[in-house]
């Protein structure tokens, strides 16, 4: 009994030293604790994990959408909790991370599991609508954060904009991310977190690699957001701090060619959360691409696998035609924090929303190995 008492006292002391959790997170813990089983020897994990690599949609801020996945949330409950400890748990920040249950993005899931995320206590309100930032992560490439919405016209992820009832992610009028004195003109995406957190959205800003003034390791972002049917611009302050120094930056000297194409990976930046690749695919025996040839190159993508053969989920990409080439930058979710090398394989798109690339789609003889330090 003395050990349990000491744990309770330690938790209470931590509660005094650390900031209180948000009302939303506390309510989640309260609901969990009230449902605990009587037996002290039963450990239950209730999961809803929905993953789809391409058949669901991200929303791209102020632009078109890209393919991505529906994200799930895991609720943890244990019967091995004393009443005193339960009271202490209500007064300290939530142990664990919503990011750790994002099934469709292994990079963000790793960030949650490895403690690379930070809790955020930032909120804004207008009349009876409230937006609350719950958690954030920044690895130098992606700045991701979770926002919980509360509104009388929002019910289980369905939002009444005054004209129609739509999913919350479709009820965003516009959203802008500003930090370090600049507002990136692309790379901002948002999506539903999943069925267990229907009123929470995941936002992420890809930091441009050609940013004139590089983002510092720590900064505050101003996120301006408007909801459909509400004549008000919400402004959120989101603090970010780079949470990892485990970053591999290599410029591979790898070029592969066949009778038709020449391909290369010219730059690779890999963190435990995000992998950024710069690639080139060109048509041989021509100096200037025709419209048809541009379309041909646009239908070539790059599949990436880690040293265990696991595919990296493609998140976004942008490219530009130069001469006989298409130069592109691709963002992928990293699979693990200790990857030793990557395998990059160009393939031809047959179906934009295919679950996985088939062997027949790979361009033969073009596989490239990228060794990481």
3-state secondary structure 330-360: EEEECCCCCCCEEEEEEEECCCCCCCCCCHH
- Which tokens sit at 181? 């004195």
**pLDDT tier at 211 (50, 70, 90 boundaries)?**
confident
Q: Which residues of 63-91 are buried (b: 16+ CB within 10 A; e: fewer)?
A: eeebbbbbbbbbbbbeeeeeeebbebbeb
d(CA 104, CA 192): 12
| Whole-prediction pTM | 0.74
**What is the tens place of the pLDDT at every residue in 69-92?**
322 232 233 333 344 443 343 334
Q: Give the closest residue to 220 by CA, choosing from 138, 112, 276, 139.
A: 138
Which helix (H) or strand (E) is 202 found in, with range?
strand 200-206
Q: Give the closest residue to 342 by CA, choosing from 273, 268, 287, 261.
A: 268
pLDDT score of 105 more than 50: yes
- Which pLDDT belongs to residue 215? 87
- Which pLDDT belongs to residue 145? 97
Give the percent of the chain with pLDDT over 70: 73
Measured from the Cβ of residue 208, the count of other Cβ atoms closer than 10 Å reads: 17
**What is the tens place of the pLDDT at every residue in 128-151?**
999 999 999 999 999 999 999 999
**What are the C-alpha distances in Å from 83 to residues 2, 17, 23, 79?**
15, 21, 20, 11
Better pLDDT: 48 or 302: 302
- Which pLDDT belongs to residue 26? 53
The conformation of residue 240, written as its DSSP 8-state character, comes to: E
The conformation of residue 182, written as its DSSP 8-state character, comes to: B
d(CA 352, CA 354): 6
**What are the C-alpha distances in Å from 289 to residues 15, 172, 253, 284, 319?**
64, 39, 25, 10, 15
- The answer to whether residues 180 and 216 touch, using CB atoms and an 8 Å cutoff, is yes
- Which pLDDT belongs to residue 190? 92
- Which pLDDT belongs to residue 250? 94
- The answer to whether residues 67 and 57 touch, using CB atoms and an 8 Å cutoff, is yes
The beta strands (E) that lie in 10-49 are given as: 43-48
């Amino acid at each position: 009994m003395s050990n349990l008492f000491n744990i309770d006292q330690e938790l209470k002391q931590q509660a005094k030293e650390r900031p209180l959790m948000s009302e939303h997170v506390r309510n989640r813990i309260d609901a969990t604790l009230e449902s605990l089983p009587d037996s002290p020897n039963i450990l239950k994990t209730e999961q809803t994990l929905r993953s789809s690599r391409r058949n669901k949609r991200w929303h791209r801020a102020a632009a078109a959408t890209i393919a991505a996945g529906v994200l799930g949330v895991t609720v943890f409950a244990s019967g091995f909790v004393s009443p005193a400890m339960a009271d202490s748990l209500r007064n300290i920040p939530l142990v664990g991370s919503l990011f750790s249950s994002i099934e469709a993005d292994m990079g963000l899931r790793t960030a949650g599991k490895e403690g690379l995320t930070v809790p955020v206590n930032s909120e804004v309100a207008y009349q009876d609508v409230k937006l609350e930032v719950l958690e954030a992560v920044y690895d130098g490439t992606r700045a991701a954060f979770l926002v919980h919405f509360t509104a009388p016209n929002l019910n289980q992820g369905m939002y009444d904009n005054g004209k129609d009832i739509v999913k919350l992610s479709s009820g965003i009028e516009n959203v802008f991310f500003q930090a370090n004195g600049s507002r990136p003109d692309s790379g901002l995406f948002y999506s539903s977190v999943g069925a267990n957190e229907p009123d929470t959205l995941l936002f992420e800003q890809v930091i441009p690699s050609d940013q004139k003034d590089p983002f510092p390791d720590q900064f505050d972002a101003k996120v301006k957001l408007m909801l459909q049917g509400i004549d008000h611009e919400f402004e959120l302050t989101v603090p970010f701090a780079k949470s990892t120094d485990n970053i591999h930056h290599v410029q591979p000297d790898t070029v592969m060619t066949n009778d038709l194409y020449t391909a290369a990976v010219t730059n690779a930046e890999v963190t435990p959360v995000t992998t950024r690749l710069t690639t080139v695919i060109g048509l041989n025996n021509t100096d200037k691409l025709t419209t048809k040839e541009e379309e041909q190159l646009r239908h070539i993508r790059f599949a990436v696998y880690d040293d265990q053969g696991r595919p990296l989920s493609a998140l976004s990409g942008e490219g530009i035609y130069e001469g006989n080439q298409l130069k592109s930058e691709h963002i992928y979710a990293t699979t693990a924090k200790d990857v030793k090398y990557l395998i990059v394989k160009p393939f031809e798109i047959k179906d934009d929303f295919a679950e996985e690339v088939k062997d027949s789609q790979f361009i033969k003889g073009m596989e490239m190995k990228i060794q990481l330090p």
